[in-house]
Amino acid sequence: MHASQREAAILKFMASSGFVTFRDLESQFGASPATLRRDLERLSKEGRIERIHGGARLIDGGPSPKIGLTGVPFHENIARNQVQKSAIGRAAAALCQIGEAIMIDGGSTTLQMCPHLDGLNLQVLTNSLHIVSALLSQPTTRVQVPGGTVFREQNIILSAVGDDLMPRFVAPKLFMGAAAVGEMGVMQADVVLVAAERRFIERAEQVIVLVDSSKFQGPSGNVVCGLQDIDIIVTDAGIMPAQRAMLEAADVKVVIGT
């Protein structure tokens, strides 16, 4: 693909959300990092984009593009597979050690951890207002939140343009959900979520994914990370033998919530 064609394709790729991460460009176009950097630099000099931490955003001479989330709204997702999610949350909480710092990404499954964290004297960084609310009644749990925009449908705080507005926080464990899990790895429907979760992953020593077994059916979306980047998946007994074998072949430990 000629440079001018690739630059046009990059602008088209950015049109829906108004920004893009560098990792997404590498995945989408298959060009070398050096080539993509030159493309972004030319587009920046032309005033078409603005380079930001980890990627770029469009400049159109008008207001910033409206960015929303296209995934299932939280109030709908919370009612799905409640029994399985409760068991997964309990099993995930059992992986926490007294007094440690952890990160919990927003989601209907990660929320189920909260009742089981009371008394562990944890320091928690989360982008979920639901999780903040659930933890506020726990006197020994300290809670931090990142900076950014509140997305009402999901009730989470995200830095929509990719800026790094999180506290200088490093944790032994990150607990995160997913829209789907497959051979390509962990996936989300929204590129905004992808960028936010990657920033969480960069700060974690151990990545723990909480998904009910339905998330292994028909995986699709934007890849957050590969299976090789996951340490533990906590799921339910409905996971199929082939799906479990796929995870174990990638050296992912599988924990079944009961």
User: How far is Cα 19 from Cα 11, in angstroms, rounded to an integer?
Assistant: 9
Does 64 map to a domain? Answer: no
Does 54 map to a domain? Answer: yes
Instruction: Spell out a b/e string for 213-228, using b for 16 or more CB atoms within 10 Å of the CB, else e.
Output: bebbeebebbbbbebe
Per residue of the chain (258 residues), what is the pLDDT tens digit? 677 778 888 887 777 667 788 877 887 777 888 888 888 988 888 888 888 767 788 876 444 444 555 556 655 666 678 899 999 999 999 999 999 999 999 999 999 999 999 999 999 999 999 999 999 999 999 999 988 778 776 778 876 555 555 667 788 999 999 989 999 899 887 777 787 888 889 889 999 999 999 999 765 677 889 999 999 999 999 999 999 999 999 999 999 998
Q: Which of 58, 82, 102 is the last residue of a domain?
A: 58
Per the CB < 8 A criterion, the answer to whether 192 and 17 are in contact is yes
Does 231 map to a domain? Answer: yes
Considering the domain architecture, whether residues 115 and 189 belong to the same structural domain is answered as yes
Considering the domain architecture, whether residues 95 and 167 belong to the same structural domain is answered as yes
Considering the domain architecture, whether residues 24 and 110 belong to the same structural domain is answered as no
User: How far is Cα 155 from Cα 159, in angstroms, rounded to an integer?
Assistant: 13
The CATH number given to whatever domain includes residue 37 is 1.10.10.10
Considering the domain architecture, whether residues 180 and 216 belong to the same structural domain is answered as yes
User: How far is Cα 222 from Cα 27, in angstroms, rounded to an integer?
Assistant: 10
> How many domains, in total, are found in the chain?
2
Question: 């028909």: which residue's tokens?
Answer: 218
Does 66 map to a domain? Answer: no
Does 63 map to a domain? Answer: no
Considering the domain architecture, whether residues 32 and 135 belong to the same structural domain is answered as no
Report the sign of the C-alpha dihedral through residues 32, 38, 228, 246, in that order: negative
Considering the domain architecture, whether residues 180 and 103 belong to the same structural domain is answered as yes
Considering the domain architecture, whether residues 209 and 109 belong to the same structural domain is answered as yes
Considering the domain architecture, whether residues 107 and 185 belong to the same structural domain is answered as yes
Q: pTM here? A: 0.72
Does 147 map to a domain? Answer: yes
Does 132 map to a domain? Answer: yes
Report strand pairing: 185-188 vs 171-176: unpaired
Per the CB < 8 A criterion, the answer to whether 116 and 184 are in contact is no
The CATH number given to whatever domain includes residue 245 is 3.40.50.1360
- Structural domain including 131 reads 74-256
Considering the domain architecture, whether residues 53 and 100 belong to the same structural domain is answered as no
Considering the domain architecture, whether residues 198 and 110 belong to the same structural domain is answered as yes
Does 251 map to a domain? Answer: yes
Considering the domain architecture, whether residues 9 and 123 belong to the same structural domain is answered as no
Question: 């972004």: which residue's tokens?
Answer: 40
Six-digit token pair at 244?
């479990």
User: Torsions phi, psi of 84, nearest 5?
Assistant: -65, -40
Considering the domain architecture, whether residues 161 and 85 belong to the same structural domain is answered as yes
Report strand pairing: 55-58 vs 19-21: antiparallel
